[in-house]
Structures are given as C-alpha cells and as structure tokens.
Structure 1
C-alpha cells in the first residue's frame, strides 16, 4: 500500500530503481551518435572488402561491432569505449574463444567457458569492453566459423574491424567537437603556464583522483579528467549557492566613466592613465551598451597594426594612441563585444565562472539594454572576502 500523509504517493516508490538512470540526450547527441555509428558501419563494411581483410569467398561484419559502435559513438568519454579497451578487449575475447574451441566443442559449455575467460582476460589486461563478451559468444557458438578462419579470426575481422571503428570514431568526434580518445589530466592552463584555471585547482593530484575512483570501484565508469571536472563543477555550484544572498547591485561600480563608439583610441588611453581603470564601457548617447574596452584591447590593437604595417609594436602603439583626425582609430575598432552580462539582482556567485578564467576582466550590469553598472574582479574579491567574514562570524 502506498504511504499516505505529508509525503503522499511519492513516498512509496519500490520500482523507482528500475527507471531510467541516464540523463536525457540532447538533440545534438541524438544526431551525433546514431549518424556517426551509421557512417562508421558503411565505411567499415567497405574496408572489409579489401583483399587483405577477405576470408574465403566473402567478408563480414560481426554483430558485436554494433555494441562497440554504441560505446564509441554514443558514450566516447566512457573508459569502456577507449581505444585500448575496444581493440584489446574484443581481440583478447576472440582469442579466448579460439582457445576454448581447440579442446571443447559442446556449445553451451564452450560458450560459458569462453565468456568467463574473456571477462577474466579483459580485467587482467585492463581492457574491459562489454562487446568483448559478445565476441567470445559469437565465436564459441559457431565452431564452423573458427574451423574455416582459424586463429586468423582474432586479427580479421575482430582486431582489424575494431581498429577501423576506433579510427573512424576519432575522426568523427574531432569533426563534431567531442574529445576522443579519453580526456587525460591537464598539465597546464590556458595561459601557457603549468597553472590550471582557478576552477580546476582542486588541491587533488591526478593520482589522488585515480585513487578515489579505484577505492570506490568506479574506474570502469569514469575517467580521472572527468572526475576532476565534476568535482570542480560541484564546488563552483556550491560556492554560487553560498553567495545567493549577495547581489551584484551591492558591489557594482555605478558612477561609470564611458566612451562613445567614435571616441579616438588616444582619448581612451588617456582615461586609462587618469583613472587607473582596467575596463571602460562603450555606450551610445542613451547608455545602450555597445562593448567594453579592456587595457589588453589596446595592446591587441597595436599588435594588429604592427603586423599590418610591418613595423615595431612600440611604434604602432604610439601611433595608435597619438593619432588625430579622421584617420585615428576609434573605440569601436578595438572594443570587445559579445561579453556576458548580468542584471542588478543576479547573485554575485554567478560571476565566478565568468571572471575566474581570464576571458573577461569585468561584467556589465544591465537594466534592459542599458548599462547601469559594472562588476570587476576587484569587486568580486571584495564580495568573496565579505562572504568569508560573515561565514567566520556565523
């Protein structure tokens, strides 16, 4: 009987564990996985027509390749789908079946023994690949196939076919914007140094993350790099929730010094020197935001001019900031556009992912299409310090 009371009908859910455990696929995933697998099978079938892959009077794709394709194209981040797991797992499973059939021909017993040995061999060789079990069964249940092909079955179609699928998966995922093979722990950050971005500095080494996976018996389901990304994302979300009470309006700069799109770059440079700002919004006459100029934009503009005019950087920067008249570069020529923005009542925690990795040094605060303030990294540090002080005194 379902439990009643405050919990209603939801309290009694004995079958909840039998429901879907995988999140909903995105439209991109729906297109990318099935289409990639289909293309791979067409190409694989054509590849097996090559003379060096032929056997007797024909060629064939074996059913377990379909299961391998599901892993390679639908869940390429899985440790079970990596090249070593796929190629070695399928091949060593085929080898176990061939060995079993060399001394045992009773179908059920041979299939059971081949499956057991295949799983054991995959675990020992760290090449666990579920379709490998199907490879062993296909061979063990069809002794005539092994009689015809002999040990060559291990190399073709199994090893060769799997290798073709892996190669196609590498090409397909690169073309469609995914990472395959497996993400490896990053050794550096985006600035050309060994430091990772702040969000990725967990205080845990790759070895620590690997130990966590092994202790919790999850190394077959998740990789070290992905575990690091998940921990970082969880920490960042927790920090955002802790700062929900702090709103951008309380920390933003309101008395803005702005320029118009047509302001000469020399005037912009003068404002940077005068006020010590790191960013200056570019707005229209009615405060409609057009973009933001950061100090680095001046440097980038001078660098482009130096390359274009084939002269030194210092000369280009001097010319750019001292030029007058109609030929002088304008704010619109160097400003950054398409920056993330927030509203007055946005929690200050929302700025953490926007300001932490160096892509932006300030975030405009908007009221409709009008800019009403700006939050810089210094403002964010102040908010974090205040939040820490409150937590310590609580």
Structure 2
C-alpha cells in the first residue's frame, strides 16, 4: 500500500483525535448533568475509534459515508441487543450478533466495518444492555456515531476534503443534469457501478472516484496519442494584455474590438497576475444592480463609465490565474482543463513566471482537427 502524504496523515490524525476528545467532553458534560436519570449511556464506545479512522482518514470511501456509519453502527447494536435479550449464552450471542450485523448492514446498504465491533462491544456490555434495553442503540451508539459524523463533516470541509462525498448524477458546474462534456462519450454511472459490482469492489471505491480515475487515465492516453505536440506549439503568442490599473472601460473596449472572452492581467515584468473574463464584468454589474436596487444596464454603464466616482480598474474584478500549463507540456492536458472547467482559455507560463502565451478552446479544437487523435498503436 502506498504511504500517504505526511500532511494528510497529520490532517486525518488531528481531526480524529480532536473529534473524539470533543465528543467525549460533550457527552461527559451531559452525562454528569443527567446522572440521576441516566446512569449509563452518554459515554464514548470503543468502536468509535475505528469509525473515526474511516471518517477522517478515508472520507471518500463508501464505507465512511454518513449513512454507512450511522445506520451500520445502529443496526449492529440492535441485532446484538436482540441476541442478548433472547437469553443466549454470551459466546453464542457473540456469533449471532456478528453474523446478524453483517447481514443487516448488507441488506441496508450500510456497510461499515466498525459496525461488527459495535456488535461485539454491545454483547460484552451485557449488564449495561440489560439496564438500558434497546435504548442502548440510541445512546450511546446512535448518539456517539451521529456526533462523530457531524464533526467529520465540519473538519473535512475546513481542511479541504469533500465529505460526504458527492454522488454521480448530481448537477454539473452549470447547474444542469447533463454529464460533463469530457465524460459524455464514456461510461455511465450505472455502467461504472456494474463494473465495480462485477469485480466486488463496490465497498472499496465509490462510483464517482472510479469515474475520476478513468477520466485521468483517458487524459494520460490522450497525451500519448497526440504525440509530441506541445502547448507552446499551438498557443497564441501575440497577446493583448492589461495591467491591474487598466480601467474597466478600456477592458470592455478590448473585449468588443478583439472579440476575446478572456484577457490576461500582467505585471511590470510580464508575470501573470490574473485573468479577466467577460463573465467577470457581467457578475460585477449584476452584484451592483442587486446592491443598489437598480437595473442591470444602468449598473453596467456606471461600472464602465465610473459615473459614481473614481474609475474602476481591472484589479477590482480580476480572478486568480487558476490552472496554467508550461510551453513544453503535451496538449493532452488541455482536453481536461478546457472541456468543462469553467474557463475559455488556459495561460501558458514560462519557467521564469512570465506569460508566454495563451491557449483557447478554439486553438485546441483547431489542433485536434488537423491530426488523427486516435491512431492505432504501432
């Protein structure tokens, strides 16, 4: 197994440790306040450590999603409680609880490995189960797991991870249900799920992750098929650029005159500082119209003509450069960047940080149209 990056290990370990410590503190505080009525129940359970590992270390895993964690742990506890209350000897109850928990998680599509540990821990906590009955499944099991899931959602999102993980079929970047252009000729989510099921890997990798891996593999294949053609060979070199102090009126005039959709913003040494798109102007005018409760056309005119005071400049609306490429990179990488990344052009940046050129969608299409993209292997 590949060694994870040290930063990722620290992120996961710190998150899991903090979440369990905070969960324990919260539960202990409530437990003390209600001690006379609830002698047991509002305490951490040991299997939560395994759940924390999944939720914080591998949040993309199907085994770590909220449904799997909450339903898997709770269903396993219910099965174990039933085995105990039926009067079975403890060792027999262990076997029934483990078998039943796995069957229940499978039927509920809530496979969560710590669920089996919850079942075992429940049987081993026989006296507490007799005291609490089926409420043991609610507190501590359901309560503990739900609290951990909430903290995992917060921590993962604060540290740049997506959790719960997105599912295939969600709206794309345009807010529609169409699949991204680069994947419309590929396999559907149903076909991807079928392949994972056929090879019994559906519990190890989600359909969305599988699709992303295939997309990256296709990008690498595209790089091989386009041979040695590089971004530097197809880029536009005679560039029209603006500076951060260029007035928006002049920016709009450049868009009109050259029919560009993107303008690079450069510094004194030619270094790339950002980009301005036509959409940036539109969004700024729209925001001003909403703020001032005025019409869109009036807000756009005021933005460009600076009727409300000092002129507006490019630096006020420019966006960070985003993805860039080097002149020597294969054009295969542009297929992914320009397919549906929300950009019309990709800047080409030299090793010294200066802007060497820019590749638009039109440049890429023209290059692909003049070459046999899918050549048979030699």
Q: With the length of structure 2 as denominator, give the TM-score of the two structures.
A: 0.82
Whether 2:112 is the aligned partner of 1:126: answer no
Whether 2:327 is the aligned partner of 1:344: answer yes
Q: Secondary structure at the match of 1:354?
A: helix
How well do the aligned residues superpose, as a CA RMSD in angstroms?
A: 3.5
Whether 2:40 is the aligned partner of 1:40: answer no
The residue aligned with 2:71 is: 88
CA contact (8 A) 1:91 1:155 kept: yes
The residue aligned with 1:211 is: 194
CA contact (8 A) 2:84 2:123 kept: yes
Aligned counterpart in structure 1 of residue 232 of structure 2, from 249, 262, 265: 249
Q: Which runs of 5+ in 2 are unaligned?
A: none
The residue aligned with 1:98 is: 81
Which shifted more, 35-44 or 127-136?
A: 35-44
Task: State the shift of 1:68 in Å.
Answer: 1.9
The residue aligned with 1:9 is: none
Distance 1:281 1:151 in 2: 64
- Encode CA deviations 1:238-297: one digit per residue, 9 max, x unaligned: 223433511122211223334455544444444433333333444466644444443334
Q: Secondary structure at the match of 2:237?
A: coil
CA contact (8 A) 1:98 1:146 kept: yes
Task: State the shift of 1:214 in Å.
Answer: 2.0
Distance 1:56 1:171, change over 3 A: same
The residue aligned with 2:91 is: 108
Aligned counterpart in structure 2 of residue 385 of structure 1, from 365, 369, 373: 369
Distance 1:223 1:249, change over 3 A: closer
Q: Secondary structure at the match of 1:161?
A: helix
Distance 1:382 1:373, change over 3 A: same
Task: State the shift of 1:379 in Å.
Answer: 0.6
Whether 2:158 is the aligned partner of 1:181: answer no
When Rg is computed on C-alpha atoms for both structures, the one with the higher figure is: 1
Distance 1:272 1:130, change over 3 A: closer
Q: Secondary structure at the match of 2:359?
A: strand
The residue aligned with 1:13 is: none
Q: Which runs of 5+ in 1 are unaligned?
A: 1-20
Q: With the length of structure 1 as denominator, give the TM-score of the two structures.
A: 0.79
CA contact (8 A) 1:45 1:61 kept: no
Distance 1:266 1:124 in 2: 63
The residue aligned with 2:355 is: 371
Whether 2:210 is the aligned partner of 1:227: answer yes
Q: Secondary structure at the match of 2:340?
A: coil
The residue aligned with 1:355 is: 338
CA contact (8 A) 1:44 1:165 kept: no
CA contact (8 A) 2:247 2:314 kept: yes
- Encode CA deviations 1:83-119: one digit per residue, 9 max, x unaligned: 3322332233223333333455544333223322222
Distance 1:135 1:365, change over 3 A: closer
The residue aligned with 2:10 is: 30
CA contact (8 A) 2:76 2:104 kept: yes
Whether 2:130 is the aligned partner of 1:147: answer yes
Distance 1:287 1:178, change over 3 A: closer
Q: How many residues align?
A: 373
Q: Secondary structure at the match of 2:346?
A: strand
- Encode CA deviations 1:45-98: one digit per residue, 9 max, x unaligned: 532515389643785432222222222222222222223322332233223333
